[in-house]
Structure 1
Amino acid sequence: MSGGGGLVRVAFLLPLVVGVLVPQSFAGGGGGRRWFGGRGEGQRAEAQAAKDAAAAAFYELDTAQRGMRITIETITAVDGSPEARRAVEEFAALGRRVDEVSHVYISAVDAHDLDREELDSGTAQRARGELTRAREELERVKGELDRFEAGLAPLLGRAETQLARLAPAVERARQALRGAGGALESVREKGLRADDLAARLAALGPELTRLNEGAGRHGVAETLQRADRVLRDAEAVRTEAERLPERAAEIDKRLVSLRTRTQALATRAEAVEPVLSELRRRYSAACWQDLQHVPEQAAGAVRQAEERLAEAGAARAEQRWPDATALLSTVRALLDTTGEAVAAAGDRLRRLDAVAKDPTAETDRARFAVRDAQRLAMEGRTRPDPRHARPLDEAVARIDRAVAGLEGRHPDYWHFLGELEAVRAEAARVVAAIREERGGHAH
């Protein structure tokens, strides 16, 4: 029972219960107890039976309370929710009721010595009544305890699920740490230091210590979270360690590839100046002035790329993998941007040459795009929607202005190309708007 005194008394009472249940010989002889016959002996037997029944009820209640205490401890070890806290409070209240009815039972047992030879029938009758009432109270509280236990089933189920996860989760974390350590040793044997990974693995050491200290010290929920975190971090270290040789090979490959690209870009950049000279000679300044700084910018970008490549090579030699990767990404971005600028000069000359030779091809492309949009705008209508007709009419006028701008001694072919490209884009925008509206109406 919840009170210490009650348990001590039980230790003395249970042997009495057992003794009563053992068949005894009533034949005469030395030391045998003398029983009185008649009605008195019947009442003594009834009182003794009531005492035995009360003792059995007391034992059942005590067993149930002990089992329920284990259940509550299981729940509270895992669950800190308000529902779990209420269960603890309710169990404490039940414990107080258990103490009360146990005290009544023990007092009734202490008050009556049913083995007394001079026990009279009245006393036996009173003893039977008190013990019967004590038994009924014990059984009533036992019923309350049973109902309380039934209500705890969901909480207990969740707690047992958590506890069942605990040992496997901790073991998986330990195995993950061993696996990460083995992967690190393997890459070191190949000459790769992996210092950053080793530091990350070492940082998990205190977490392993806490896992080994167990849930009894740190709690089930916290231990499960720690095990999951250690597993995740150790698996990340192992994965990166196993991939390290491949990563080193990739960096070596990228170093070679980007050095080749840098050299190729330097060669291409040298060809920009002759292209610019041709543009200056044959076309107005508006057609090329935005490109005149490309040779200087390309040369600077090539120098910068070569410097970053040298730094990346040093980082690779020192096995500073993140630094090497970042530097190589910088080089690639430089080469991409500069390569586009270098290509733009040659592309500009080709496009200008083509339009200077035959402007009508570009004009026809733009007029076709506008006419296609106009046909779609008129589809199923007697007159177009002003929201569509207005920009298309303006596009037609814009084409005419662009064509007229080519008349003169030094036409700006680059402006002409830009205007027609804008016209095509506007026609495509109107087409997309019409289709979106009609698609929405269909739904």
Structure 2
Amino acid sequence: MPRTRRAPSPRPPVPRARRAPGPLRDTLALVGLPLVAALTLPAAFAGGGTRRWFGGRAENQRAEAQAAKDAAAAAFYELDTAQRDLRISVETITAVDSSPAARRVVSDFEALGRRIDEASHRYIDAVDAHDLDRDDLEASAASQARARLTAAKEELERVKRELDRFADGLGPLLGTAETQLARLAPSVERARQALLAASDALDTARGSGLSADDLAARLATLSPELTRLNQGAGQHGVPATLERAERVTREAEAVRVEAERLPERAAEIDRRLVSLRTRAQALTTRSGQVEPILSELRRRFTVACWEDLQNVPEIAAENVGQAESRLAEARAAREQQRWADATALLSTARALLNTTDEAVSAAGDRLRRLNAVQKDPEQEIERTRFAIRDAQRLAMAGRNTPDPRDARPLDDAVARLERAVADLEGRHPDYWHFLTETETVRAAVGEVVARIREERGGGAH
């Protein structure tokens, strides 16, 4: 008497648009069914209706075989899903990384793909070997089907475990790749915005009457780079695109900053031109005062006190003349908006005027200092003796006898000062020699003091 068959439990769905890997597609073509039909067709007849059953043992074997088939289908689905997910990860890595490690990932994934194809073939063969919905299915055939399906499931699970282990090992490479991909779109957008901002700043500068030709040329060289950025990482690669985007951003930002500063830069150059021209005129006037100072030095002091200043008037006149020439060239460069040339010429003019100022000031300073020491040499002597005594006290602090490294230069300083003082007793004392000697003595004493403090400070730590 016919009996109604209980509907089997639902099996995991199989994706409609799924394509089986290479050899798997060939196998399905040979059996004449697409993968979806191969997995779902038997189930379409499993629910509802009536069928004839032959014996309890055959029914049990059929049920066990069907359960094995369902389990194998679930394992197949899980493996297929994992493979597709992992393919995305591998493609993410290879899109960013071309290192040997990334190339090994590709070759290892291909080897795993072959293992998956083999396991899938075994599963398809096991499914196709027996029609579990036949009314006359024998118990031995159902048992054989169960065994093959169980073996196929176990093989699919083993390969799935291998795939999982492989996926776990991709962590560092995948993390780096995902980080770079996450940076890609924002980096490219920043580059585009930087170019736009640079172009706007350049237009503003030109609107104020500044040509900014050099900046326009620099900006024009970035246009091909923008084209490459728009072509995308698919054509040029992620690392190259990231590097290009960062470089374009950096260079465009530099153009923008300079374009925005152009009006201020022009005004600054104008101010410096006026200031340096005024200074040159003032130095011309001061240079004319050097000759009377030299005359007084010659009249009142020995040759050694003024001989090195003899050429100051000529040097001052020559330097001021050169500075004025550079200023004229800077004015022309500014009118032509050659900003770098104008800035360089102004710097040269300023250096010439500084040298002139020092020389002119040296003559007046020399006369002032010589007048002071001629009137009262004791002030300079006491100043130097105080420096020596202060150094001697420091050298003896916490000691019964001084360190020879300290005592010798300090004793030399005392002797040198005494000789310089003795030289003042002549009929025509060389006051300039006296001043340079006392300065030298104080400098030598200062070196001793600095060394002592450094050594004792280091020992305290």
> How many equivalent residue pairs?
438
1:48-91 CA-partner distances (Å, limit 9, x unpaired): 33333323322221221111111110122123344433332322
Q: For 2:88, give the aligned amino acid.
A: I
AA partner of residue 40 (structure 2): V
Worse overlay, 313-322 or 164-173: 164-173
> Cα deviation per residue 1:337-382 (whole Å; 9 max; x = unaligned)?
1100110011111111121222222112112211222222222333
Counterparts of 1:228-247 in structure 2, within 5 Å, are 228-247=246-265
Please tell me whether the aligned partners of residues 20 and 35 of structure 2 are also in contact (alpha carbons under 8 angstroms): no
Greater displacement, 151-160 / 268-277: 151-160
Match of 2:304 among 286, 291, 306: 286
> What residue identity is the alignment partner of 1:197?
L
Q: Corresponding residue for 2:348?
A: 330
Task: Find 1:20's aligned residue among 42, 47, 52.
Answer: 42
Distance in 1 separating the partners of 2:78 and 2:450: 82
Partner letter of residue 286 of structure 2?
Answer: R
Contact 1:2 1:95 in 2 (8 A): no
Pick from 306, 329, 333: which aligns with 2:324? 306
Q: For 2:48 and 2:383, how far apart are their aligned partners in 1?
A: 125
How does 1:181-260 map onto structure 2 within 5 Å?
A: 181-260=199-278
Secondary structure at the counterpart of residue 398 of structure 2: coil
Distance 1:347 1:131, change over 3 A: same
**Paired AA for residue 15 in structure 1:** A
Structure 1 residues 436, 41: closer, same or farther in 2, change over 3 A? closer
Query: Residue 342 of structure 2 aligns to a residue in which SS?
Result: helix
1:156-190 CA-to-partner distances (Å, cap 9, x unmatched) read: 23322221111111111100100000000001000
- 1:215-253 Cα deviation digits (max 9, x unpaired): 111111221111111111111111111111111110000
- After the TM superposition, which of the residue ranges 203-212 and 379-388 deviates more from structure 2? 379-388
Report whether the alignment pairs 1:359 with 2:373: no
Check if 1:389 corresponds to 2:407.
yes
Which amino acid is the alignment partner of residue 76 of structure 2?
F
Check if 1:345 corresponds to 2:363: yes
Instruction: Give me the whole-angstrom Cα distance separating, in 2, the residues matched to 1:380 and 1:40.
Output: 111
Provide the C-alpha distance between the structure 1 equivalents of 2:58 and 2:406, rounded to a whole number of angstroms: 117
Find the counterpart in structure 1 of residue 168 from structure 2. 150
Deviations 1:370-423 (A, max 9, x none): 122222222233332222222222212211211221233322111111111111
8 Å CA contact 1:61, 1:139 repeated in 2: yes
Deviation at 1:332, TM superposition (A): 0.8
After superposition, residues 23-422 of structure 1 pair within 5 angstroms as: 23-27=46-50, 36-116=54-134, 118-422=136-440
User: Aligned equivalents of 1:389 and 1:69: distance in 2?
Assistant: 82
Structure 1 window deviating more from structure 2 (356-365 vs 263-272): it is 356-365
Alpha-carbon distance change, 21 to 2 in structure 1, aligned in 2, over 3 angstroms: closer
What is the match of residue 13 of structure 2?
A: none
Q: Which amino acid aligns with 1:21?
A: A
Cα gap change, 1:65 to 1:399, in 2 (>3 Å)? same
Q: Aligned in 2, Cα 1:136/1:274: closer, same or farther, shift over 3 Å?
A: same
Structure 1 Cα separation of the partners of residues 218 and 412 of structure 2: 65
Indicate conservation of the 8 Å contact 1:174/1:208, yes or no. Answer: yes
Corresponding residue for residue 30 of structure 1: none
* Alpha-carbon offset, residue 41 of structure 1: 4.2
Tell me if structure 1 keeps the 8 A contact 2:62–2:142.
yes
Cα distance in 2, alignment partners of residues 441 and 61 from structure 1: 71
Deviations 1:408-439 (A, max 9, x none): 33221111111111111122222222222222
Identity %: 70
CA displacement 1:278-318 (0-9 Å, x = unmatched): 11121111111111011111100011000000000000000
Moved more, 325-334 or 105-114: 105-114
C-alpha distance in structure 2 between counterparts of 1:367 and 1:301, whole Å: 41
Task: Give me the whole-angstrom Cα distance separating, in 1, the residues matched to 2:420 and 2:411.
Answer: 14
Q: Tell me, yes or no, if the aligned pair for 1:43 and 1:125 is still in contact at 8 Å.
A: yes
Which amino acid counterpart does residue 61 of structure 2 have in structure 1?
Answer: Q
Is 1:20–1:52's contact at 8 Å kept on the other side of the alignment? no
CA contact (8 A) 2:54 2:136 kept: no
- What is the alpha-carbon distance in structure 2 between the residues aligned to residue 56 and residue 358 of structure 1? 111
Q: TM-score, normalised by structure 2?
A: 0.90
Q: Cα gap change, 1:394/1:45 in structure 2, threshold over 3 Å: closer, same or farther? A: closer
Distance (whole Å) between structure 1 residues aligned to residue 396 and residue 174 of structure 2: 73
Q: Describe the shift of the 1:186–1:111 C-alpha distance in structure 2 as closer, same or farther (beyond 3 A).
A: same
Deviates more, 1:92-101 or 1:199-208: 92-101
Q: Provide, for residues 190-210 of structure 1, a one-character-per-residue CA deviation record: whole Å limited to 9, x for no partner.
A: 001111111111111111111
Cα pair 1:14 1:55 within 8 Å, conserved: no
Provide the alpha-carbon RMSD of the alignment: 2.0
Task: State which drifts further: 332-341 or 134-143.
Answer: 134-143
Conserved? CA contact 1:51–1:109, under 8 Å = yes
Q: Which amino acid aligns with 1:409?
A: R
How far apart, in 2, do the equivalents of 1:398 and 1:38 lie?
128
Structure 2 gaps of 5+ residues are 1-18
- How far 1:96 moved relative to its partner? 1.7
Tell me if structure 1 keeps the 8 A contact 2:23–2:117: no
The alpha-carbon deviation at position 13 of structure 1 amounts to 3.7
Instruction: Classify 1:404/1:25 alpha carbon distance in 2 versus 1 (closer, same or farther; 3 Å).
Output: closer
3-state SS, counterpart of residue 228 of structure 2: helix
Kindly provide the amino acid, as one letter, of the partner of residue 315 in structure 1.
A
Structure-2 separation of matches of 1:66 and 1:334: 75
Distance between the aligned counterparts of 1:320 and 1:165, measured in 2? Answer: 39
**1-side partners of 2:47 and 2:444: how far apart?**
114
